[in-house]
């Protein structure tokens, strides 16, 4: 796998990663737009959190962050997702990443990980399960990486800052994005809608 050294080339590579083959509403499956993923990954790369590091992508979907991390020179990359369809597609697309089909709560904690990326279900839908993103944070703490990048609804920022601090996570950066939600489920009435999200970078 040839290493990428320019942000625009990274975005182009991410655009080629397959989308969710059969998005499941109960898992809130939405592919992270290439522009957002590339921007966050390039920031992480600039902060020396990817090159030569052991990276894990929790709730990886089809593996955007794991695959892109390898393209940016990660020593290793692991993608974990509960959805077998997404994992099978990711595995067939990229053989340089170790993809694991598992509920994150069932994942063993004996992985040697430097950096974790996670884009969990964050409750942007009506009747969405609340607190799913907190389960991801708890698992990240158990896995004990050096640094965590975690997506969340911007409206929960104040609560999350307090939650991170109570769990002894040191927040260093908060990245802000308008996340477009496309019309992919039957209950969607608009072609697309933007959701304000934040990505918290924190040391553990």
Q: Is the pLDDT of residue 135 over 50?
A: yes
Question: In angstroms, rounded to a whole number, what is the distance separating the alpha carbons of residues 77 and 30?
Answer: 21
Q: Is the pLDDT of residue 127 over 80?
A: no
pLDDT at residue 192, rounded to an integer: 66
Tokens representing 96?
Answer: 């340089």
**Residue bearing tokens 């994005």:** 177
Q: Which residue intervals of 31-155 are DSSP H helices? A: 34-46, 64-71, 84-93, 132-143
Average pLDDT over residues 180-204: 74
Question: In angstroms, rounded to a whole number, what is the distance separating the alpha carbons of residues 5 and 13?
Answer: 12
pTM of the complete model: 0.91
Average pLDDT over residues 13-42: 85
Average pLDDT over residues 29-58: 96
What digits encode the pLDDT tens for the residues 65-121? 999 999 999 999 999 999 999 999 999 999 999 999 999 999 999 999 999 999 998
Q: Is the pLDDT of residue 188 over 90?
A: no
Question: In angstroms, rounded to a whole number, what is the distance separating the alpha carbons of residues 6 and 132?
Answer: 34
CA distances from 194 to 117, 127, 153, 200 (A): 22, 18, 11, 19
Walk me through the domains of the chain, giving residue ranges and CATH numbers: 7-17+25-102+109-203 (3.40.50.150)
CA distances from 136 to 31, 44, 89, 142, 197 (A): 18, 19, 23, 10, 16
Instruction: Output 189 or 139, whichever has higher pLDDT.
Output: 139
Q: Is the pLDDT of residue 154 over 60?
A: yes
Q: Which residue intervals of the chain are DSSP H helices? A: 7-15, 34-46, 64-71, 84-93, 132-143, 157-166
């Amino acid at each position: 796998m040839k290493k990428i050294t320019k942000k625009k080339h990274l975005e182009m590579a991410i655009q080629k990663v397959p989308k969710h083959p059969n998005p499941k509403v109960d898992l809130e499956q939405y592919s992270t737009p290439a522009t957002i993923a590339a921007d966050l990954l390039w920031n992480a790369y600039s902060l020396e959190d990817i090159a030569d590091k052991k990276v894990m992508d929790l709730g990886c979907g089809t593996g955007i962050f794991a695959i892109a991390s390898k393209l940016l020179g990660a020593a290793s990359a692991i993608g974990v997702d509960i959805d077998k369809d997404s994992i099978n597609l990711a595995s067939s697309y990229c053989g340089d990443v170790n993809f694991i089909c598992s509920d994150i709560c069932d994942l063993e904690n004996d992985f040697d990980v430097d950096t974790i990326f996670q884009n969990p279900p964050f409750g942007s839908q009506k009747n969405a399960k609340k607190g799913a993103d907190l389960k991801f944070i708890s698992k990240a703490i158990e896995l004990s990486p050096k640094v965590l990048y975690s997506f969340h609804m911007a409206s929960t920022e104040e609560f999350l800052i307090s939650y991170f601090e109570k769990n002894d996570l040191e927040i260093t950066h908060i990245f802000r994005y308008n996340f477009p939600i496309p019309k992919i489920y039957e209950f969607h009435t608009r072609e697309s809608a933007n959701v304000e999200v934040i990505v918290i970078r924190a040391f553990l």
